[in-house]
Chain A
Amino acid sequence: MTVPTDTRALRTQGARPSRDGGIRESVVSRTVAMAVMVVATLYFLTPLWWLLVASTKTRSDFTSTNPLWFADFAFFDNIAAVVTYRDGVFLRWLGNSALYAGVGALLATVIAAMAGYAIAKYAFRGRETLFNVILGGVLVPATALALPLFLLFSQAGATNTIWAVLLPSLVSPFGVYLSRIYASASVPDEIIEAARIDGAGEVRTFFTVATRLMAPALVTIFLFQFVAIWNNFFLPLIMLRDENLFPVTLGLYVWNTQVSQIPDIRALVVVGSLLSIIPLIVTFLALQRFWQSGLANGGLK
């Protein structure tokens, strides 16, 4: 560690600021720090603000009024236009995304948690090898698997089905990794032993006792898998042809490619984009207590 030497060197240089110097430095640094924060906030939030404002505008106001401030309020008309367009195909896409991401992430979390818990709490032959192979899976990006999965599903004649998108998203190697770390740290062996003495089976102990102790990690896994599936684009793009099976990202992408032929669709793309991100932002805000502690405790060791 170089840390102690560094600070000692600092002291021997003798260049300690007086008390006044210290306060002045902190006023200047405070101002600079807050300025950086404000600029960063503008950078990150302005596009979202623009999207929100644009979604409330009539078609003519969209191009003719200040893009960052409200004009005639047509938000609900715009929403009605999106959800009724082509027999409500947009709502169907939202539903599909909720199904793929909700069911997929829930099952993926349970499956990964069981595997991670088992690797953490049971000694068996090949345990470390198994864990390393799964860890290698973390480094395999979803997009790299899309084409191979397509080839495989087309062999089985199962492309263009719900399963082609849902089944591959049940696997979360990162979830196994996080569950193992978290289970080792937060599920004491004594508790498992106590449950055994009480006569509870191993599986029941996991579901009634361990999952409760692992809750922050489970919420983290669920959320990140949910986002990963909701955002996944290549797999549905390559697997699905039937528009009724599209997730909302793929649907909006297709609409956006049609803007040059059907200019009116642009307003639908803008409002649809806003509607598609609201569920994610709400989920993140509602669960922030869990995923922030989950990341802090397990994600980095």
Chain B
Amino acid sequence: MATDTAVRPSRAVRHRRALAVFLVPFLSLFVLFYVVPILYAVYQSLLTVERDGTFGPAVQVFGGLTQYVAVFQNEPFWSSIGRVLAFGVVQVPIMLGVALVLALLLDSPLVRGSKFFRLAFFAPYAVPSVIAAIMWGFLYSPNLSPFSAVTSSVDFLSAETVLWSIANVVTWVYVGYNMLIIYSALLSIPQEIYEAARLDGAGQFRIAWSIKIPLVVPALVLTGIFSIIGTLQLLAEPQVFQSFSSAVTSTFTPNLTIYSTASVPNISLAAAMSVVLALATFVLSFTVLKLTQRRASL
């Protein structure tokens, strides 16, 4: 005991030093490349450009919420938000539904060779969005596609369909990833729970519906939130599809709108759009979290 108290002060100092060694690298990078950029974007969004007459030099001055007013009056920006929301309302439930069904089947005794299927479904996740979009762009093109019977009667790249063709690309890439997260949650359910149900004569479908699905709700919420974030941030796929379809405009998704606004260059307006988009993303994913939490606790 006596030695213990004697050691304690120096140990506390040593711990403090160790704590600094552990935390300072991450925290300094986090501040530099997460916190400061966000603050800087907010600052930039409060500036506006003023000129003396038409040909005078441009000067950046504090403009208050001028840029935010401009964002709210920017029709292309809001229609791009509307477009990705429509995309999300349809694509996210389909993607998570398919992921859930596949995870449940993999976890049930009905399927043999589940290791192979798991890897087969997950493989598209290893394909970068840009490459996946290029690949599907070829597959949709009437003259290159292996499915020419389909692509000659349906135009996957028209103004009406291209959004859903992109939705298919996103679904293809991410179903396996989401399936794996749900599947991991299923694996962590203790087997004893099933024993009782089986003794009561419950079939696989009944077990899945009454036991498994309620227990993987947290995993579904997690994947749902990440999917919503991903949808609002959609960029690479539509950017690539501009090469395949003229229907994908430079303001097709919010991030494309921000990119084209920044390249005008209208940096302050683009910064204000970034801030609005980040807030919208945050509010939406937070709302989903709260809503599902309330339902889960019922």
Contact = CB atoms under 8 A, between A and B. Distances in A.
Contact of A147 (B105, B110, B239, B271): B271
A67 interface: yes
A45 B121 CA distance: 8
Contacts of B270: 147
Interface string A89-116: 0000000000000000000000110110
Nearest to A255: B134
A280 B285 CA distance: 30
A289 to B, nearest CB: 11
B191 interface: no
Interface in B40-89: 40-41, 44
A26 B172 contact: no
Interface in B140-190: 143-146, 172, 175-176, 180-181, 184-185, 187-188
A194 B170 CA distance: 49
A129 interface: no
Interface string A17-56: 1000010011001100110110011011111101100100
A81 interface: no
Nearest to A137: B34
A135 to B, nearest CB: 12
Q: What secondary structure prevails in chain B residues at the interface with A?
A: helix
Contacts of B282: 139
Contacts of B210: 2-3, 6-7
Interface in A139-182: 139-141, 143-145, 147-152, 155, 167-168, 170-171, 173, 176
A47 B120 contact: no
A164 B44 CA distance: 19
A276 B243 CA distance: 20
B130 A145 contact: no
Contacts of A292: 180, 184
B37 A148 contact: yes
Interface of B: 11, 14-15, 17-19, 21-23, 25-27, 29-30, 32-34, 36-38, 40-41, 44, 98, 101-102, 105, 108, 110-112, 117, 119-132, 134-139, 143-146, 172, 175-176, 180-181, 184-185, 187-188, 193, 196-197, 200-206, 210-211, 214, 218-219, 222, 225, 229-230, 233, 235-236, 239-240, 242-243, 255, 258-259, 262, 267, 270-271, 274, 277-278, 281-282, 285
